[in-house]
Structure 1
Amino acid sequence: MLDPTHDDPPILVCADLQVEYLTQGRRHVILDGDAALPRCLDLLTLWRDNLWPVMHLKRIAQAAWFNPASKLTDWIAEAKPRPGEMTFEHPLPSAYSSARFVDYMSNIRAVRCVLLGFSLDETVLATVVDGFHRSHRYQVVSDAVACRQPGADDAAAYKQAVVNVIGNFAIIRTSAELIRTSGAIAMQAGATG
Structure 2
Amino acid sequence: MLASINDNPPILVCADLQVEYLTPGRRHVILDGEAATARCLELLTLWRDNLWPVMHLKRIAQAAWFNPASRLTDWIAETKPRPGELTFEHPLPSAYSSARFVDYMSNIRNVRCVLIGFSLDETILATAVDGFHRSHHYQVVADAVACRQPGAGDAAAYKHAVVNVVANFATIQPSAELIRSSGAVAV
What TM-score do the two structures reach when normalised by structure 1? 0.92
Residue aligning to 2:141: 141
| Contact 2:36 2:145 (C-alpha < 8 Å) held by counterparts | yes
| Contact 1:2 1:181 (C-alpha < 8 Å) held by counterparts | no
| Contact 1:140 1:172 (C-alpha < 8 Å) held by counterparts | yes
CA deviation digits over 1:83-106, x for unaligned, max 9?
000000000000000000000000
Please state how far the C-alpha of 1:3 moved relative to its aligned partner.
Answer: 3.2
Cα distance in 2 for partners of 1:18, 1:67 equals 12
Residue aligning to 1:53: 53
CA deviation digits over 1:53-112, x for unaligned, max 9?
000000000111111110000000000000000000000000000000000000011000
Cα distance in 1 for partners of 2:5, 2:32 equals 34
Q: Give every structure 1 segment of 4 or more consecutive aligned residues whose post-TM-superposition deviation is greater than 4 Å.
A: none
User: How many residue pairs end up in the alignment?
Assistant: 185
Identity %: 85
Report the aligned-residue RMSD. Answer: 1.5
Cα distance in 2 for partners of 1:151, 1:31 equals 13
Residue aligning to 2:113: 113
| Contact 1:120 1:145 (C-alpha < 8 Å) held by counterparts | yes
| Contact 1:15 1:115 (C-alpha < 8 Å) held by counterparts | yes
Please state how far the C-alpha of 1:31 moved relative to its aligned partner.
Answer: 2.1
Read off the aligned partner of 1:81 and give its amino acid letter: P
| Contact 1:118 1:146 (C-alpha < 8 Å) held by counterparts | yes
| Contact 2:33 2:146 (C-alpha < 8 Å) held by counterparts | yes
Cα distance in 2 for partners of 1:27, 1:122 equals 15
Residue aligning to 1:188: none
SS at match of 1:13: strand
Cα distance in 2 for partners of 1:138, 1:174 equals 14
Q: Which runs of 5+ in 2 are unaligned?
A: none
Distance 1:151 1:107, change over 3 A: same
Where do 1:40-189 residues align within 5 Å?
40-184=40-184
SS at match of 2:116: strand
SS at match of 1:92: coil
Please state how far the C-alpha of 1:151 moved relative to its aligned partner.
Answer: 1.6
Read off the aligned partner of 2:58 and give its amino acid letter: K
SS at match of 1:3: strand
Distance 1:69 1:2, change over 3 A: farther
Residue aligning to 1:12: 12
CA deviation digits over 1:5-53, x for unaligned, max 9?
8831000000000000000111111121111100000000000000000
Read off the aligned partner of 1:156 and give its amino acid letter: A
Read off the aligned partner of 2:44 and give its amino acid letter: L
What TM-score do the two structures reach when normalised by structure 2? 0.95
Distance 1:80 1:74, change over 3 A: same
Is the helix fraction higher in 1 or 2?
A: 1
| Contact 1:2 1:182 (C-alpha < 8 Å) held by counterparts | no
Cα distance in 2 for partners of 1:72, 1:161 equals 28
